[in-house]
Structure 1
Amino acid sequence: MDTLLINILDPKATKLLKDLEEMELISIQNPGESGFASVLKKLRSNSDSTPTLEEITAEVESERTKRYAG
């Protein structure tokens, strides 16, 4: 199986791709729906509050300090 990144220049091409997907010749995935972003979205939906970028950065720096202190 090959994976390609395609920039669609003409909206008519989207219909062609959807037709190919319906014929089960290709599978279409939205980049936002797969990978790391998808995992983050799922985890954040289970949380009461989402940490800010500053909170995440502070936690990462804290862990790095612990790891490399010894």
Structure 2
Amino acid sequence: MNVLTINILNPKAEMLLENLADLQLIAIKSKKNNPFLQVVERLRKKNEGNIPSLEEITNEVEIVRAKK
């Protein structure tokens, strides 16, 4: 059995998935809203275009190592 996470972009797709569940071809489990995951998702969206480069990460690591 494979488990997939799907973002539904069109409401018609949700209807198709519900029809597949009615035919017992798939099982749909709704997720509970986890406040921690909501915060993580909000932070990811906020910093989406601000990903540090490998060089920046390496520099930060070297600074921390030098302090020790």
| TM-score, length of structure 2 as denominator length | 0.47
Select the structure that is richer in helix: 1
Greater RCO (Cα-Cα under 8 Å, separation 6 or more): 2
